[in-house]
Structure 1
Amino acid sequence: MKPYIPDTLPLAQLDYARLITPVGEANAKLAEYSGLLQGIVNPAVLLSPLTQQEAVLSSKIEGTQATVEEVLEQEAGQHFDGRKSADIQEIHNYRKALLLSQQHLQGGGSISLSLLRQLHAILLDSVRGQDKSPGHFRKQQNWIGRAGCPIEQATFVPPNPLQLPDHLQQWQHYLQQQDFDVLAQTAIVHAQFELLHPFTDGNGRIGRLLIPLFLYARQRLSSPMFYLSATLESHRQEYYQRLANISRQGDWCGWIQFFLHAITQQAHTNLLQVRRILALYEETKTQIREITHTQHSPQLLDGIFDRPIFNASDFARRNRINKQTLQGLLRQLSQGRGPLTVLRQGQGRAPAIYAFPQLLTICQGAT
């Protein structure tokens, strides 16, 4: 099989009549979601579990097996076996890359090849794939197929590495152009990146990370917190098939339609989830105030939403509450009708671990 030669962007021929309806539906639903985000004072804190869920699901598409609860439990001090721990480290790396990229754009930066190399280095830090040139575009020909198959039996062979730098420059130039619709352009940006397959490993995760970044950079999101991996994971077979149809049949329209439907579906899901999170936030605010009668109510509230599984020592440090004071407050909040449960009692130097089940239940709706 010969290396794939990517189409020049912007695409010369598209059946725009097929795209009018899905473009309109996706733009309307995403605008509704962005409007809801705009009304949230601190979305990074309030919607932190959704960011965790994105890191879990985008990594799951690539084969990791860990849950949001396990990731948070390890952060809180629980120990897991070697394979599970390695999976969790990959998810940690993805979340770190995701947050760094968001901060980069919010600070006035742009999406560039340099940024992608930086994110790739974070993604493969100290995990499987760390021997696959972290932070560097590939210098060798790679291919996709069943494990261990020769290139002759590959299902897809990305572009020749000698031509890759030129293709990447053209792709980066397309990021700065205005195409017929921003959401359709996002579909094209993501697919072209995946077809270029510029890294030896980690292309899927970097490509999915690009989606909220591009939408935010083009001001289609008031905050770069729109993650598509839940929908792509639930339609994984079609996701890969639609990408394959571009290289095999030149079917860009079919891919763009699929992607726009995914945006519509995910935005609808996000609207329901975020409204439930906001309602829970208000309910829990009242609950904490009535149970504790403390001046630390705001820190307690934001703290359990930012990290719905935590250990007491880390919570005290992050939220600047005296440890002894916090112990009494957490005891109150984990008794009777309080919002917290105790996952592990404190013993010796090992601090107690608490969970906020209602928030975790809402975020599990992403799967």
Structure 2
Amino acid sequence: MWTTRTLPWVSRSRGPRADRTLTSYRAAVAPRIAHCTPALGESVQRAVEEASLALARFEGASTRGGTVLAPIADLLMRGEMVASSRIESVNAPLDMIAAASLGVRVHVNARLVAAAGDATRALSGVADRRHLEADDLLAAHSTLLAPLAADVDEQVGRLRSVQNWIGGSDYSPRGALHVPPPADDIAADVDDLIVFLRRQDLPALAQAAIAHAQFEGIHPFVDGNGRVGRALIHAVVRKRGLTRQVTVPVAAAMMAQGERYTRALDLYRAGDPDSIIELVARAVGRAAAAAQESSARILSLPEAWRAQTNARRGSARQRLLDSLLEHPVLDAEDARALTGASSSATYGALDRLVADGVLRIAVARKRDRVWVAAAVIDEVDVLLDALAE
């Protein structure tokens, strides 16, 4: 169970008088969880088991020759990074996010969303190879905030050196809903979490939910805690072998819970982990079910595209159509490589597919033009809308 302790507060703001005259506050003290084993309630155990089976079945159904189909993996990662970013009010058009994934210079929000996907992939990639270390969380944070590095360089990839808080006043911890541990405690708190992540004796989803809740309670960064904390769920699931390649959009399912999620975190810090474990488990189950339906729609697109066009067999347009599912975001260089045709023939094919409604121009700048497969990119919103219900 989390506790609190009283610490001195020195006001350095010009905020309301109540903030300027505040002299002390209570900050959280994170319990050591490295060797704690929660006793899960019956309904929680059932939710964890059902979600674990649903996730395993989905990955099995999405795999060919031992590899998850690239279009499905790409769709699910796009859904997760968009949903995780929206929770933090980092919003951007899907086409701009797609362009950002190619390294095209677009609005910073689009680059931040793409970076959230990069951070999730990086953390899961490490978990595929070995146990996570504290430095891996710092590296994920650096990746996440890379688009802002020029403005907040002192915060990127570093544990915070200041007190933060959630809710309440903008000027002091007065009235805060949660005041995480002070900066001096953070390194030890994170080290304890890292030891917890190495355990193999807990159900994977229970371990992922507890790790997420503990991380959010510690709030070790000035910014980006929510997105790194949700990426941590996927890393734990991957490390424990519950999935090998897929990243289901758990963030979207969690976002739909709203106040229930906040309440579950409060209960966790009060000593009851059941609520957050059950919430994460049910979010995973819902995400797996929605992802199954979305994947079926994605895999049916080539047939729909053929019906939309009259592309001649062997033409540049046909070669682009055959490649779109695995390459739904293209610049001119990508398109030429996929068609194997001249620049004029390739641009002609692109123009025809735009006219057919298969492609959409995401970035119209002459030197940085980007095209997207409209139905593939739009499926992200279809998936997230389904999970928001």
Q: TM-score range by the shorter chain?
A: 0.7 to 0.9
RMSD, aligned CA? 3.2
Q: Within 1, Cα distance between the matches of 2:75 and 2:312? A: 24
1:49 maps to 2:75: yes
Counterpart position of 1:192: 214
> 1:72, 1:310 within 8 Å by CA — same for their partners in 2?
no
Counterpart position of 1:2: 26
Correspondent of 1:257 among 258, 278, 283? 278
Residues 344 and 220 from structure 1, CA distance in 2 versus in 1: closer, same or farther, beyond 3 angstroms? Answer: closer
Counterpart position of 1:225: 247
Superposition deviation, residue 218 in structure 1:
1.0
- Paired residue total: 357
Structure number with the bigger relative contact order (C-alpha 8 A, sep ≥ 6) is 1
Q: Within 2, Cα distance between the matches of 1:352 and 1:15? A: 53
> 1:77, 1:311 within 8 Å by CA — same for their partners in 2?
no
Q: Within 2, Cα distance between the matches of 1:135 and 1:47? A: 27
Superposition deviation, residue 192 in structure 1:
0.9
> 2:294, 2:379 within 8 Å by CA — same for their partners in 1?
yes
Residues 334 and 305 from structure 1, CA distance in 2 versus in 1: closer, same or farther, beyond 3 angstroms? Answer: same
Q: Within 1, Cα distance between the matches of 2:222 and 2:329? A: 35
Residues 193 and 270 from structure 1, CA distance in 2 versus in 1: closer, same or farther, beyond 3 angstroms? Answer: same
Correspondent of 1:86 among 108, 118, 129? 108
Correspondent of 2:358 among 324, 331, 340? 340
Counterpart position of 2:53: 28
Superposition deviation, residue 147 in structure 1:
5.0
Q: Within 2, Cα distance between the matches of 1:140 and 1:188? A: 25
TM-score normalised by structure 1 residue count: 0.84
Correspondent of 1:214 among 223, 226, 236? 236
Deviations 1:33-73 (A, max 9, x none): 12123337453454323322322221111111213233235
Counterpart position of 2:155: 133
> What 5-or-longer segments of structure 2 have no aligned partner?
1-24, 385-389
Q: Within 1, Cα distance between the matches of 2:88 and 2:363? A: 35
Q: Within 2, Cα distance between the matches of 1:24 and 1:345? A: 45
Q: Within 2, Cα distance between the matches of 1:287 and 1:227? A: 30
1:359 maps to 2:381: no
Q: Within 2, Cα distance between the matches of 1:50 and 1:329? A: 28
Q: Within 1, Cα distance between the matches of 2:279 and 2:252? A: 14
Counterpart position of 1:61: 87
Moved more, 3-12 or 23-32: 3-12
Q: Within 2, Cα distance between the matches of 1:17 and 1:77? A: 48
Moved more, 351-360 or 142-151: 351-360
1:98 maps to 2:120: yes
TM-score normalised by structure 2 residue count: 0.80
Q: Within 1, Cα distance between the matches of 2:381 and 2:43? A: 34
> What 5-or-longer segments of structure 1 have no aligned partner?
none
Q: Within 2, Cα distance between the matches of 1:2 and 1:346? A: 53
Q: Within 2, Cα distance between the matches of 1:260 and 1:76? A: 33
Percent identity, aligned pairs only? 23
Residues 4 and 344 from structure 1, CA distance in 2 versus in 1: closer, same or farther, beyond 3 angstroms? Answer: closer
Residues 110-121 of structure 1 aligned to structure 2 (within 5 Å)? 110-121=131-142
Deviations 1:119-145 (A, max 9, x none): 111212242872552111122222112
Counterpart position of 1:172: 194
Tell me the SS of whatever aligns to 2:156.
coil
Counterpart position of 2:13: none
Q: Within 1, Cα distance between the matches of 2:139 and 2:195? A: 19
Tell me the SS of whatever aligns to 2:335.
helix
Residues 52 and 290 from structure 1, CA distance in 2 versus in 1: closer, same or farther, beyond 3 angstroms? Answer: same
Tell me the SS of whatever aligns to 1:153.
coil
Residues 239 and 67 from structure 1, CA distance in 2 versus in 1: closer, same or farther, beyond 3 angstroms? Answer: farther
Tell me the SS of whatever aligns to 2:27.
coil
Moved more, 145-154 or 29-38: 145-154
